[in-house]
Chain A
Amino acid sequence: MAAASEHTVLQFVAPSLTASPTTPVLTARIHPLVIFNVCDCFVRRPDSAERVIGTLLGSILPDGTVDIRNSYAVPHNESSDQVAVDIDYHHNMLASHLKVNPKEIIVGWYSTGAGVNGGSALIHDFYAREVTNPIHLTVDTGFTNGEGTIKAFVSSNLSLGDRQLAAQFQEIPVDLRMVEAERLGFDLLKSTAVDKLPNDLEGMELTMERLLTLINDVHKYVDSVVEGQTTPDNNIGRFIADAIASLPKLPPQVFDNLANDSLQDQLLLLYLSSITRTQLSLAEKLNTAAQML
């Protein structure tokens, strides 16, 4: 120890550097399903539990982004200085998940609550044995500071020579992939009860309305700039010009032809499907009539 003391320095080893030296910055990409899962587990937690933890599944993309696509809860017990994680459960569940989707591997773990606490380091150690450099995701289900904060951390070791002194949790950027949720429609996911699913035409109507308001907004903006009420912003101007330029410029004659052609195609299809339907009902009547004889 005495000999080593000259060289002893507090070393900060960023694990991401050791794992993949070329991509030091990690990003966590979270799919909405994970958040739903965490919330559901929290709602269904045992009475005694303060928080729930679970395993995050996903994959690590070539650019270093950690794609978190799925999760499952793991029962655990926490007292002041001890954490007991049901390891058997964790392994069983992992095996089951791998059967369905072998591409989704462990990438880390989640816990509810506002941030990292003492027990977290222990659990993180456990996950670090399962996978190199796990991600720790915290979802603040208590809305402690008025908003539902979602944070992701990686841990890095502070070591003194060969001895580990402490683990430091480093926050990494979170990228919420809400595209899938948008596809479904936030209206469906936001409220606690939706009476019926939107059908095709209602969705179309909604979309058109949104488009119309957008166009109106742009219209108003341009008008107010022309009248000198708003100071012109070159960036916005360019965006608008781009949007207008994205409409293909066709002579009216050509465009009319095009539109009419596709209209006729669609009409043909409509006609065909209606005629098939008529045939079906006719056939049924005839079939039953034939049996009468």
Chain B
Amino acid sequence: MATMARSFLQAISKDEAVAPPLRVVQIEGLAVLKIIKHCKEFAPTLVTGQLLGLDVGSVLEVTNCFPFPVRDDDEEIEADGANYQLEMMRCLREVNVDNNTVGWYQSTVLGSYQTVELIETFMNYQENIKRCVCIIYDPSKADLGVLALKALKLSDSFMELYRGGNFTGEKLREKNFSWMDIFEEIPIKVSNSALVSAFMTELETDTPVSQGDYDRLHSSTTPFLENNMEFLIKCMDDLSMEQQKFQYYYRNLSRQQAQQQAWLQKRRTENMARKATGEEPLPEEDPSNPIFKPIPEPSRLESFLITNQVSNFCGQINGVAGQNFSRLYLTKALHEN
């Protein structure tokens, strides 16, 4: 099965030089449950794991996954981790699980996943697998009865920019690139085998109200909102720090330009005088002069990411507050009856 799948994959990659864009991530219920179990058991520690599956046209199928042990910075353990990964893949292949890496999953706290690390990991994966995806699960939201599962990829234009390695204002303007264009969210589909579906139908409890309903009607969302606000404030601080960096840069830049102008002016008058006396004019540029050394422009990546996070927190606050309205009106209606 696995070899067949691989040859199928190879066939695809040979036949189509330009792969169709990734439209849907189809994930099996088994993988969803595994991700949730792993992320929840270790929360609030952030954990990661590998996704296994198949790449079929514009659909990326995630059929299984396995967790990574919690990482330490120790080098030895890192090598151990690589061994673990190989071993796990080998073992899973033996029981006919698709052993084709399609990406990784990770847990997050309140959706603050937009980090440089994630981008670096993604680029690493991207080198080996043409099409990969990152699935993000937020255990903190599960208590609100929300299934916070997201499939993300970096946009092609961002990857191009990242490979180029410069996030200067000029480049970004050229590409018409904004902070919203870093991540692309891919819609998730859930699929189950017929057998699983039969079992779940069989085992479904008869009660009309499920645990999810209880969670959703729970009226104390204050801690969640509080945490969100706290994160938002922190992000705003970071953002203003970044802004200050830019201001500092612009101030330096304009000062430098003024200096250059002054120097040029001086040189010109000097040249005029030299011309008058019949001497050779001096060159109008002097690379040895420190004022002509270009000041490096700070990267905009960080501020873009922070902006992304801020917008994410805003979205969450909006969502939860919106739900709270419904809850409040519900309680009100209950009371009036």
Contacts and interface: CB of A to CB of B under 8 A. Distances in A.
Interface of A: 31-33, 35-37, 39-46, 69-70, 72-75, 86, 89, 92-93, 96, 99-101, 141, 143, 147-148, 176, 178-186, 188-198, 200-201, 203-204, 206-208, 210-211, 213-214, 247, 250, 252, 255, 259, 262-263, 266-267, 269-270, 272-274, 276-277, 280, 283-284, 287-288, 290-292
B29 A211 contact: no
B202 A147 contact: yes
Contacts of A292: 173
Nearest to A33: B33
Interface of B: 1, 28-30, 32-34, 36-38, 41, 64, 67-69, 84, 87-88, 91, 94-97, 142, 144-147, 149, 169-170, 172-173, 178-179, 187-205, 208-213, 215-217, 225, 229, 232, 236, 250, 307, 310-311, 313-315, 317-326, 328, 330-332, 334-335
Given A191-B192, A192-B194, A200 B146 contact: yes
B212 A99 contact: no
Contacts, number: 232
Interface centre among A147, A247, A262 (most CB of B within 10 A): A262
Rank and list the top 7 A-B pairs by shortest CB-CB distance, nearest first. Answer: A182-B211, A273-B314, A291-B169, A182-B210, A44-B96, A36-B30, A273-B317
B147 A185 contact: yes
A276 B204 contact: no
Contact of A39 (B97, B196, B211): B196
A41 B324 CA distance: 42
Interface centre among A31, A74, A186, A250 (most CB of B within 10 A): A186
Given A92-B87, A186-B204, A269-B321, A204 B195 contact: no
Contacts of B200: 181, 186, 189-190
9 contacts: A73-B95, A100-B68, A184-B32, A185-B147, A197-B149, A200-B319, A200-B323, A262-B328, A274-B318
B34 to A, nearest CB: 6
A196 B142 contact: no
A31 B38 CA distance: 13
B173 A40 contact: no
A182 to B, nearest CB: 4
B184 to A, nearest CB: 16
